A and B are shown apart, each in its own frame.
Chain A
Amino acid sequence: MLSRFSTSRKVGKLSFLIAIVSITGLAFSNTQTFASSAFKSAADPYSGKLVYWFWAESDVPGSTAWMQAAIKRYEALHKNISIELVPQGSDTLQGAFETTAQSKSGPDIAMQWATLPVLTPVWRGQVASLKGLVKPSEMANWLNTSENVSGGEVWAMPLYLLGEPFVWNKTLFKKAGLDPNKGPTTWAEFLAFSAKLKAAGITPIQMGLKDGAFGAWFQATVGTQNLDSVQELKDVYTGKAKFTDPKYSSYLTQLDTLSKKGYFNKDIASIDINQAWQNFAQGKGAMTWTTDGNVAAWVKAGLEKQIGVQMTPKLGTGKLANFHTATQSISAFITSWSKNKQAAATFLSWLHQPENLASWYEATGAFPADKRFSAANIKNPLMKKLFALNSQPGQLWAENYAPPQVDSNGLRPFGAAVVTGTSTPAKAAADIQNSIKQWQTQQPADFKSYKLWASGK
C-alpha cells in the first residue's frame, strides 16, 4: 500500500522547492536599493543618486515640505541627478546614523546637530571633509561654521540659524494679573510669576519630557548660567572638572524646585517636546522654551499678539548668563562612504543660493544661516526681535558640547528623573558625572579627539 509513494514525485517536489529558492534569491538581490548603478561618472557634479537623511521639522515646522519642493526644482534643473529625501525623527536621529555608519553604508548626505553630534562622526571617520568639495568663497558666506570646526576644517553646512527663546502667553499673563508685556528676568521673578499663574489656575510652564529633551534643554538654557566660558563647559567633558560641582549641576536643584512646586504641566513626563509646544500654542500653559521656527509657525497661524519672546531669564551669575541661546542647530554633511561626494556638495551649495534662501525664509520663517540673507527681509516685529537676539555675539547651545552619548544617557534621562521625582538633584548630578566617565572609558578614541579639539587643535 505504501509503495504508491513514488520517488519521481518526490524528486519533482524537491526540484520545485529548489526552483523557488533560487528564484527568490534572484529577486532579493535586486532589493539592494542603494546600488547606484543606474548612474555613472562620479566626476560630473550633476549626475548620480543621492540619499539625503533630513531632519528639521521639529525645529522649523514646514521645513520638510520646503526641502521636498527644493529637491524637485533641483532635479528639474539637472536631469541626471536624483535625490531621495528621507525625513528622520528626533528620537532616532543620532542612533540611526551611528547604526548605519557601523554598517559602512547609508545616506550620502546626513544631518546632525552642530558641534559634538557632527564632530563625533567626524572623529570616527564617517564624514567627508568639505575642503575641495565646496569653494572657500562659497563657504565664507555661511554663518556659524565655527560650530563645526575640528582640525582647522569645516565639516558641515548650516541651513538655518536658530534661537531658543523663552516665550510666554500674554493672554494668560493678563488673566493671572501679570503685565502681559514683561517676561520674568530673574530667578526670583520667574518663581513669583509661576506662583501667581498657578494660583490663577494656569499651568505656569508647559514642557515635554518623554524624549528626555527638556532634561537637556534646561541644562542648555539655565545650566550654563553659572559658567564664565565655553572652555569651562568643555572642561567637564575632558575630565578637568566634575559635573557634581554646583557650578555645573545647580540647575538640577532649580529643576527640582520647579517640579516640587508643581509649576510644570501634569503630563510633562508622558508627552514629548513638540506636543508640549502644540499645547502651549493652544493656551495650555503660560511659559515655555521653544525655537525661532516654532514661533514663526505660530506667527503664521495668527497667534502673534498672544506671544511674548525674550532671552531666558537670568537664573545664574556666570558670564554665560548674558548670552542668548542660539545655534545653527542641524547641520548637513557628506558621508565618507558616499560615491557621489561632489554631487552632494554641489547640491548643498545650491541650497545656499540667494533665491533659495529667500524661498526658505518665505516658507518657514526661520532665518537662513547665510550672510547673503538680508535682515531687511524680516518684516514681522516679533521675528525681528528674535533675529536681533540671534545676531548678538557669544550665543551658545550647551547641549551641543556634550558627546551624544552623554547627552542621551546623561543629561536627558537624569534631568528627566529629577522632574519626575525618581531621583534627587545630588544623585542625578552624580549619575551624569558617571555617564561622562562611562563615555570616556567606552570610547577612548572619541575622548582623545575631544581633548585635542578642546585644546584648540
Chain B
Amino acid sequence: MIESQGSAVTVRGKNRLRNGRYREIWPAVFLLPAIFMLGVVFVFPLISVVKFSFYAGRVGDLAPVGFANYYNLLHDSVFLIAIKNNLKLLITAPVSVALALTISLILYEGVKGWRTYRIIVFIPYIIPGTVVGLSFSYLLQQSGILNTVLNRLHLSKLALDWLGNGALSIYSVGGLLIWSQLGFSVIALTAALLSLPQEVNEAAIVDGASKWQKQRYVIIPQLKNTIQFLFVLQIINALAWVFPYVFTLTRGGPGNSSMVMDLFIWQYGFSLGSVGYASAAAVYLLGLSGIFIYLYSRIRRNQEEL
C-alpha cells in the first residue's frame, strides 16, 4: 500500500509541469475544510481547556490558582464517585457486545422470523437518549411499571429500587446504555457475518464441525475487527456519552451516587459557573480517554503488522 502511494507521488511530480499546479494542490485543498473544522472544534478547545484549568472564578473574573483545581478534585468525593462510575460503566462494553454477538449469531442461523427480530432490535437505537431516560425514569421508579409487573408475577424479590438505591442507580444507567446501543451492534455484527466468505462455512460443515465449534473457531475469529470496533465504540459511550441518560434518569442522584464525568463537568462549568474546576475535571477525563486511545492504537498497530 505504501509503495503504491510512493508511485503516486512520483507520477504527480512528473505531472506538475505539464498540468500546471492543479494536481499538486488538490489533496491539500480537499483536506483544508476538515483541518479547519478539526482545528476549531478540537485543537483550539483542547488548548483552551488546559489553560482554563489553572484558574478559579468565572469567565471575565478569573483568578489564577495554579494546580489547586487538580489537587482539590482528587479530594472531592463527588468527582471520585464520577470517575468510579464511568469505570463501572465500562462493564457495558463486554456485556453489550456479547449480547449483540449472541443475537446476531442466532439471527444469522436464519431462525423463524429473523427478519422481524432484526427490525425490532434496531428500534431502541433510534430513540433519543433523552426520551429513553425520561420514560425509564418512570418505568424504573420504585413504585413504577417494572416493579408493578414483577410484583404481579410474584417476583417481588426482583423488584428493587432501581433508581432510588444508591448502590444500584449507576447500573440502571448502564442497563439503559446497553438497551439503547444494542441495535447498532447487532446490525454491525450481522453486516460482518453476511460479508463472510460462504466457503469457510461450507468447509467447516464438510469437516463435520459441530455448530458450537463452527461458531467458536470459524466464525467468531473472523468477526474480530468488528467486535473490536464495537468494543471501542461502547467504551467511548461509557466514558463520555452518558449525559442525556443520567441527566433525565437520575440527575446524578440519589445523593450523587450516579454522578458521571460529563454531568459533573456540565454542572460546574455551566450551572455553577466554576469554569476552572470544570476544566480541570475535563483534563482528567482527557487523560483517562488518552489511556484508551493509546491502548487502541497499540492493538491496531499490532494487527496491521500481522
A: residues with CB less than 8 A from B are 91, 94-95, 98-99, 101-102, 124, 209-212, 215, 266-271, 404-405, 408-409, 413-423, 431, 434, 438, 441-445
Does the CB pair A438–B251 fall under 8 Å? no
Give chain B's interface secondary structure class. loop
* A405 and B272 in contact, given A417-B256, A434-B76 (Cβ under 8 angstroms): yes
Task: Give chain A residues whose Cβ lies under 8 Å from the Cβ of B165.
Answer: 269, 420
- Cα separation A438 to B68 with both chains bound (whole Å): 11
Quick one: which of B83-113 are within 8 Å of A by CB? none
Q: List 11 A-B contacts (CB under 8 A).
A: A210-B163, A210-B251, A268-B164, A270-B161, A271-B142, A416-B254, A416-B255, A442-B268, A443-B274, A444-B56, A444-B57
* A417 and B257 in contact, given A95-B271, A270-B163 (Cβ under 8 angstroms): yes
* A422 and B163 in contact, given A102-B273, A270-B140, A441-B68 (Cβ under 8 angstroms): no
Task: Give chain A residues whose Cβ lies under 8 Å from the Cβ of B277.
Answer: 438, 442
Write the B233-252 contact mask toward A (1 if CB under 8 angstroms, else 0).
00000000000000000111
* A423 and B274 in contact, given A269-B142, A445-B61 (Cβ under 8 angstroms): no
Task: Give chain B residues whose Cβ lies under 8 Å from the Cβ of A404.
Answer: 272
Does the CB pair A270–B267 fall under 8 Å? no
Task: Give chain A residues whose Cβ lies under 8 Å from the Cβ of B253.
Answer: 209-212, 269, 413, 416
Quick one: which of B153-193 are within 8 Å of A by CB? 161-167
Does the CB pair B273–A98 fall under 8 Å? yes
* A408 and B161 in contact, given A421-B166, A442-B57 (Cβ under 8 angstroms): no
Does the CB pair B76–A417 fall under 8 Å? no
B: residues with CB less than 8 A from A are 56-59, 61, 63, 65, 68-69, 72, 75-78, 137, 140-144, 161-167, 250-257, 267-268, 270-274, 276-277
- With a 10 A CB-CB cut-off, give which of A269, A405, A415 has the most chain B CB atoms: A269
Task: Give chain B residues whose Cβ lies under 8 Å from the Cβ of A99.
Answer: 270-271
Task: Give chain B residues whose Cβ lies under 8 Å from the Cβ of A268.
Answer: 164
Does the CB pair A270–B141 fall under 8 Å? yes
Does the CB pair A210–B254 fall under 8 Å? yes
Task: Give chain B residues whose Cβ lies under 8 Å from the Cβ of A413.
Answer: 78, 252-256
Query: For residue B163, which residue of chain A has the nearest CB?
Result: A270
Task: Give chain B residues whose Cβ lies under 8 Å from the Cβ of A420.
Answer: 164-166, 254-255, 257
- Cα separation A124 to B59 with both chains bound (whole Å): 11
- Cα separation A95 to B250 with both chains bound (whole Å): 17
- Cα separation A246 to B35 with both chains bound (whole Å): 59
Task: Give chain B residues whose Cβ lies under 8 Å from the Cβ of A438.
Answer: 72, 76, 277
Count contacts between A and B, CB distance < 8 Å.
138
- Cα separation A434 to B250 with both chains bound (whole Å): 23
Lowest 5 A-B CB distances belong to which pairs?
A417-B255, A269-B164, A95-B271, A422-B166, A267-B142
Select A267's contact among B56, B161, B167, B250, beta carbons within 8 Å.
B161
Task: Give chain B residues whose Cβ lies under 8 Å from the Cβ of A95.
Answer: 267, 270-272
Task: Give chain A residues whose Cβ lies under 8 Å from the Cβ of B267.
Answer: 95, 408-409
Does the CB pair A408–B272 fall under 8 Å? yes
Select A422's contact among B57, B161, B252, B257, beta carbons within 8 Å.
B257
- Cα separation A441 to B271 with both chains bound (whole Å): 17
Query: For residue B272, which residue of chain A has the nearest CB?
Result: A405
- Cα separation A409 to B69 with both chains bound (whole Å): 16
- With a 10 A CB-CB cut-off, give which of B69, B141, B254 has the most chain A CB atoms: B254
Give chain B nearest CB distance to A101 CB in angstroms.
Answer: 8
* A211 and B161 in contact, given A102-B59, A269-B142, A421-B166 (Cβ under 8 angstroms): no
Does the CB pair B72–A408 fall under 8 Å? no
Select A444's contact among B63, B77, B137, beta carbons within 8 Å.
B63
- Cα separation A217 to B268 with both chains bound (whole Å): 23
Give chain A nearest CB distance to B123 CB in angstroms.
Answer: 26
- Cα separation A444 to B276 with both chains bound (whole Å): 12
Task: Give chain A residues whose Cβ lies under 8 Å from the Cβ of B77.
Answer: 431, 434
Does the CB pair A270–B270 fall under 8 Å? no
Does the CB pair A94–B255 fall under 8 Å? no
Give chain A nearest CB distance to B52 CB in angstroms.
Answer: 12
Query: For residue B252, which residue of chain A has the nearest CB?
Result: A413
Task: Give chain A residues whose Cβ lies under 8 Å from the Cβ of B272.
Answer: 95, 98, 404-405, 408-409
- Cα separation A175 to B148 with both chains bound (whole Å): 26
- Cα separation A206 to B68 with both chains bound (whole Å): 42
- Cα separation A249 to B76 with both chains bound (whole Å): 19
Give chain A nearest CB distance to B162 CB in angstroms.
Answer: 8
Does the CB pair B270–A98 fall under 8 Å? yes
- Cα separation A438 to B56 with both chains bound (whole Å): 11
Query: For residue B271, which residue of chain A has the nearest CB?
Result: A95
Query: For residue A404, which residue of chain B has the nearest CB?
Result: B272
Known: A408-B272, A441-B72, A442-B276. 14 other contacts (CB 8 A): A95-B271, A98-B270, A210-B164, A212-B255, A267-B164, A270-B142, A405-B272, A408-B267, A409-B78, A409-B267, A416-B253, A416-B255, A419-B255, A420-B165
